[in-house]
Amino acid sequence: MTRKIFVIRHGETLFNSEQKLQGHCNSPLTNKGESQALAVGTTLKEYLSDRSYHVYCSSLGRAVQTAQIICDAIGYDQSALTQDDRLKEFSLGEWEQQTIPSLIEENPALLERRDWYIQAPGCEAYESVKGRLLSWISELPEEQDIVVISHGLTGIVLRGILLDLSYQEVWAQDLPQDAFFLIQNGGITRIDCMTVEAVA
């Protein structure tokens, strides 16, 4: 049986909705973020039936909150969930809790680079994040599928490692919160998840 790895980003957070950078800071999921996590879990369940798998998540609160919602949706015991610091988001240094519009005001050309996030003063280095992810991957069981709930930037680096992408290709990837990625046999499939809006 070929191992499947499911790479998931946490749902929308308060800071996301305010266009505020989080990094190692944290903010809770919004109602929309909770709906996104539930939709991901509901869709993911279809891909996990009759398979052995383990669920991992970043130790940051927003990823844990998302993972707990997903665990409930797929029928996975929350106490078996493995939190790992190596799956945390990049530290964004002095830009954490700054809004994107305010950063653009200071540097109008900021968004011309896809990797603009890691231009932050005091930001964690790309190679540092890649190193901790490689360390995590090296310890994964070969015989089980892997479900991993992480973050936008850490998630694209993880996908890049698993798919052997170049630095430029890593940063060309998107960072959805209403979809997840299935990686198997060196290929990737994006799986979109329909959120059900609450009816007033």
Which sequence positions are flagged as catalytic?
A: 10, 89
Tokens of residue 158, six digits: 């993880």
Tokens of residue 20, six digits: 């505020």
- Which DSSP symbol is given to 13? B
Helix, coil or strand: residue 154: helix
- Please report, as a single letter, which amino acid is at residue 38: L
Cα–Cα distance for residue pair 101/107, rounded to 1 Å: 10
Q: How many CB atoms lie within 10 A of CB 143?
A: 8
Q: How many CA atoms lie within 13 A of 27 on its CB side?
A: 18
CB 32 within 8 A of CB 96: no
Among 182, 175, 177, 109, smallest CA distance to 145 is for 182
Phi first, then psi: what are they for 21, rounded to 5°?
-75, 140
